[in-house]
Structure 1
Amino acid sequence: MHLKSLKISSDDKIIREINFRKGINLIVDETPVSFGNETGNNVGKTTVLMLIDFCLGASPKHIYTDPENKKEEHKAVKEYLIKNEILITLILKEDISIIESKETRIDRNFLSRSKKIQKINGLQKTDDEFEEGLTNLLFQNHYGKKPTFRQIISHNIRYRDLSINNTLKTLDAYTKNEEYETLYLFLLGCDFQDGDSKQELLTKIRLEQSFKTRLEKEQTRSAYEIALSLLNEEISKLNHRKSTFNLNENFESDLSTLNNIKFEISQLSSEIGRLNIRRSLVLEAQSDLSSNVANIDTAQLRAIYEQATTLIPEIQKTFDELYTFHNQMITEKVLYISKDLPRLENDILLKSGHLNRLLEAEAKITLSISKSEPFEELEKIIAELNEKHHKKGEFENILLQLERSELELAELNKQLKAIDDSLFSQEYEQKIKDQVTKFNKYFSTVSQDLYDEQYALKVDPEIKNGKRLYKFSAFNTNFSSGKKQGEISCFDIAYTLFADEERIPCFHFLLNDKKELMHDNQLIKIANLVENSNIQFVASILRDKLPDEINNEDNFIVKLSEDDKLFRIENFGN
């Protein structure tokens, strides 16, 4: 599937329309050097890539938020997009070389609620329906599964620092290794239906282990077992002493009833205690996560961060990107962790009400028993028994929860082992190696053409924190930004060629920012390669950085400058 066109409009007025072609598609900044702006950050060439990404499900905030400071919005741009009801229309074409091939139209604007436009082929979609519709463009019936549509296409769209500077790490900085494992097994065509289940199991194991650790915060299981054994001996002695009292018949009956009530109270108290532990864990986790939201003196932290970047210039991630993304992830985790809170609080409320009724009954029957004789000594024994039974109930409840937690962990690990046994079987490992070998045929050939070097993908089974996973990486590690840019392009081009051979659906366009970092001869070779490979290579670049061989109008899809910026905000309405 190719890009056909991208249109920016307001009502019936077309602000800008960009038509794409086969092969190299350049978004150039023609701003003269005399303007003193050699980076081209202000004319909108990267925004073209962002708008395509926006139509493919990215957040609208990327368009009007400073990438180096997520809290700082470009108010003029945001107001322009919303006030003028700017509509972005992306047309995808099954094959740009075939006029009659199927087209897909995607429309999105920046408004909300009833004014929000989010359409696929003219049909308005909710957020979930929109994501499902986008997923179905490539993979029917894959919506709701891992990897997600946005993860699958992440290597096609590279304008954020992480994906610009990393060949395989194309997701956010907090993505777990098992998510990358699932992603690259999927991209290589290694059928792994349990990718969702494995990630869910690992999450449950982490939560259950945390719960078990909390239960053993004061003492270990063996210590509770020894303490319980001693308590049972003490209770047995107290019961023997109590049995020596010669009491009237009613007293024994009342005492039996009282003991039953106390036992029920103990059990119910333990259950409420367990629920409160669960509730406390949720609230503490919620509080811990919320406290992780960066509400600190950012100015002081920024100064520290800037000092760090001075000492370690290789740091790629900006402070504000980490700061904002961290807060967003924490908010999502808080919502996930808090979902069971209403049920827990309702259970605690109901059981507390029942406990209060039992306590009233206990007080009533205790008053009745207190009138019997001899009671003073018996009252002491009963008080001791009550205290011992209460403590016994606590210990038994903790041991029961520990047993349940251990059983749950054993079952979860058993399920994980079943998945891993299949995933790490000799047959499956061989399948992965075969697919990697097929991919490397393209990766090494493309890199050889571009660099006279051979890059290759490798996969290493490894064990981390007792869990097995496949770790994917490239053979060569390059530290020069230009060469790294080339390695990334080699990988993306090679994957498209590989996917075609394996009949794996994929987008046949690659979006790239900052291609001025790439050496001229590599960019020329890429232009020649994609021209003959049914691939669209869309790149933003400063015109004065272009090599002469591709510096011609046929390769330009849009030319921007200080006098003619992408949105034409200054000229809008004139």
Structure 2
Amino acid sequence: MFIKKLMISNQKGIIRDIEFHRGLNLIVDETIHIVDIEKKNTPNIDRETGNSVGKTTVLKLIDFCLGAEPKIIYTDKENNKEIALVKDFLVNTKVLISLVLKEDLDDADSKEILIERNFLNRKLKVMRINGENYVKNKGKDFDDALDTLIIGDREHKKPSLRQIIAHSIRYTDERINNTLKVLTLYTSLAEYELLFLFLFGITITDRSKILKSIKAEKEFKKRIEKKQSKNELELSNEIINDKLLELEMRKKTLNLNFNYDRDLNEINTIKYEIGSVSSRITELSLRKKIILEAEAELRTTKSDIDLQQLRRIYSQASEYIANLQKTFEDLVAYHNNMVIEKIRFLTQDIPEIDQQILALSEELRRLLAREEQLAIKIANSDTFSDLEVIIAELNESYHRKGEIENSLKQIDEVNQKINSLEADLVNIDVDVFSNEFQEKIKSQLKKFNKFFSEVSTELYGESYGVTFGVKEEQKTGKNIYTFDSFNANSSSGKKQGEILCFDLAYILFADEENIPVLHFILNDKKELMHSNQLIKVAGFAKNKNIQLIFSILEDKLPLELNNMEYIVLRLSQSDKLFRIETTN
């Protein structure tokens, strides 16, 4: 496939209509650059920012039509910020990018692919291929359709179209400075392995998917075992099981008193009653004591005097006092009778008090016995709070047991998956890493290196090549095929030459091996190439039916190439790519 045309249009009409041809196609920045004498007249090249003229953007627009993200067009790569002026223009004026690919530029009837994309969203989004709009599943249908049209029908879309064509579209630093490692920094060795084997005409089962799955499962297992290993989890589970048995036994043997609260209230009532009865007994005992003391005191007042002596005294007195009606004996008897009457009166309540004390003492004994009975019952019983404590411990233990067993189950499942994946990998690797397979790789690389060496010798007078090896991937521990160029050149110019020679050689190799390939090469910053090599490359591409699309500064352009035969677009500060200043 070649690029026939790139057109930029919006609601006001066509902004750019760029026709391409076989051989060298140059996008030239005609801006006069300030020369820095201290840098030996090296032009001060502006980076792609909002103030650039858009020569690199042409390459990005082609890549955009081939499935790249829209943001590459309006994002400053230095700070990853959106350029509002450009984005607003693309969206507000409904800019449409149209790319026409053609199988043979010299055959008007050869197959063509029309790709159209815009920068709008949702219902207004355009991702058309030959008139059919693909906007489902975030562009996957679009990528699949392109893959089928460019690569052809294949059961598995691995490597992806974007990976296959990456080396043909070089405007990022990674692709400009690397011959083979043209994908993102996050691309695994397994993905590179699949890509290079595909590029060199060797089809294998996608090991990268299995290796990625193994890596993911091992990472998951690592996270599970971050706090505790499987052995520690198993031992912890045994400890939990022992604790659960103990708690269940405690629960079964729990002496629950369902009347605990009632018994507690009753014993408190009894304690109160014991206090009341004890106080009453004390009160009655004190009363009895007082009565007995009063009785004893009254008994001391009873007369026990010598009546004979008193009688003589009383007789003498009666001689002097006439009319004494009462005898002395009467007087004493009266006195004693009064004392006895008082004693009788005082002690008449004692029998009743004794009965009350006896009854209360019996009640006290009964209450004390009941208190002792309840105290023993309460002391020997377990409360519901005890049960709640055990249940809480059981719940916590079962929860922990569940976590442990879930982790163990996950580890076992992960181990099973890893074992299954590794078994699948072993079955594949038996063939992939066999001597016969390695000989096949070596044979294909010999074919490719023949082209690589011839191209590099013709253009640079040096012989370049690609080699392969087997390396153990660090995170999976599995063998991976790796591919490298074996050139000792380190200067930027030489490296640029090596990269270009690889891309040219690959197109020739792919045609020879009937491998689907893009016949165009997009390169940015070709001012790094020496002018003599650029002239040689222009002639080489034209003779080999290859299309080169390069962006370059005019002051680095060789005089032989500064004409309409090679220049397809001239840009400058006064005439930038989107002509935003003149279309607003």
- TM-score w.r.t. the length of structure 1 is 0.70
Q: Which residue does the alignment assign to 2:562?
A: 551
Shift in CA distance, 216/96, structure 1 to aligned 2, threshold 3 Å: same
* Match status 1:209 vs 2:221: no
1:551 Cα deviation from its structure 2 partner: 2.6
* Match status 1:479 vs 2:485: no
Equivalent position to 1:63, from 64, 73, 76: 73
- Inter-partner Cα distance in structure 1 for 2:253 and 2:579: 98
Letter in 2 for 1:543: E
1:398 Cα deviation from its structure 2 partner: 4.0
Aligned 1:155-554 pairs, distance under 5 A: 155-192=167-204, 194-195=205-206, 198-228=207-237, 376=382, 395-465=404-474, 466-554=477-565
Shift in CA distance, 106/414, structure 1 to aligned 2, threshold 3 Å: same
* Match status 1:124 vs 2:133: yes
Shift in CA distance, 426/35, structure 1 to aligned 2, threshold 3 Å: closer
Q: Which residue does the alignment assign to 2:305?
A: none
Shift in CA distance, 509/143, structure 1 to aligned 2, threshold 3 Å: farther
Q: Which residue does the alignment assign to 2:27?
A: 27
- Inter-partner Cα distance in structure 2 for 1:23 and 1:106: 22
* Match status 1:570 vs 2:581: yes
Q: Is the contact between residue 28 and residue 543 of structure 1 (CA under 8 Å) also seen in structure 2?
A: yes
Q: Is the contact between residue 132 and residue 143 of structure 1 (CA under 8 Å) also seen in structure 2?
A: no
Q: Secondary structure at the match of 1:8?
A: strand
Shift in CA distance, 439/375, structure 1 to aligned 2, threshold 3 Å: farther
- Inter-partner Cα distance in structure 2 for 1:388 and 1:553: 83
Identical pairs, percent: 50
Q: Which residue does the alignment assign to 1:303?
A: none
- Inter-partner Cα distance in structure 2 for 1:502 and 1:226: 61
Q: Is the contact between residue 254 and residue 382 of structure 2 (CA under 8 Å) also seen in structure 1?
A: no
Shift in CA distance, 479/224, structure 1 to aligned 2, threshold 3 Å: same
Q: Is the contact between residue 143 and residue 149 of structure 1 (CA under 8 Å) also seen in structure 2?
A: no
Q: Is the contact between residue 255 and residue 381 of structure 2 (CA under 8 Å) also seen in structure 1?
A: no
* Match status 1:87 vs 2:93: no
Letter in 2 for 1:15: I
Shift in CA distance, 377/434, structure 1 to aligned 2, threshold 3 Å: farther
Q: Is the contact between residue 136 and residue 143 of structure 1 (CA under 8 Å) also seen in structure 2?
A: no
Structure 1 gap segments, 5+ residues each = 248-370
1:449 Cα deviation from its structure 2 partner: 1.1
- Inter-partner Cα distance in structure 1 for 2:399 and 2:489: 65
Shift in CA distance, 80/226, structure 1 to aligned 2, threshold 3 Å: closer
- Inter-partner Cα distance in structure 2 for 1:395 and 1:76: 57
1:163-206 Cα offsets, whole Å, 9 max, x none, are 011111111122111111111111111011x21xx333333323
* Match status 1:75 vs 2:84: yes
Equivalent position to 2:58, from 37, 48, 66: 48
Q: Which residue does the alignment assign to 1:97?
A: 106
- Inter-partner Cα distance in structure 1 for 2:21 and 2:165: 20
Which range moves more in the overlay, 493-502 or 431-440?
Answer: 431-440
Q: Which residue does the alignment assign to 2:365?
A: none
Q: Which residue does the alignment assign to 1:14?
A: 14
Which range moves more in the overlay, 552-561 or 502-511?
Answer: 552-561
Structure 2 gap segments, 5+ residues each = 37-42, 257-376
Letter in 1 for 2:145: G
Q: Is the contact between residue 255 and residue 382 of structure 2 (CA under 8 Å) also seen in structure 1?
A: no
Which range moves more in the overlay, 389-398 or 560-569?
Answer: 389-398
Q: Which residue does the alignment assign to 1:346?
A: none
1:376 Cα deviation from its structure 2 partner: 4.7
- Inter-partner Cα distance in structure 2 for 1:230 and 1:34: 78
1:396-439 Cα offsets, whole Å, 9 max, x none, are 55444433332222222222222222321222222111111111
- TM-score w.r.t. the length of structure 2 is 0.69
1:209 Cα deviation from its structure 2 partner: 2.0
1:477 Cα deviation from its structure 2 partner: 4.2
Letter in 2 for 1:437: K
Shift in CA distance, 442/213, structure 1 to aligned 2, threshold 3 Å: same
Larger C-alpha radius of gyration, 1 or 2? 2
- Inter-partner Cα distance in structure 2 for 1:509 and 1:144: 25
Which range moves more in the overlay, 477-486 or 538-547?
Answer: 477-486
Q: Is the contact between residue 531 and residue 557 of structure 2 (CA under 8 Å) also seen in structure 1?
A: yes
Shift in CA distance, 242/106, structure 1 to aligned 2, threshold 3 Å: closer
1:124 Cα deviation from its structure 2 partner: 1.9
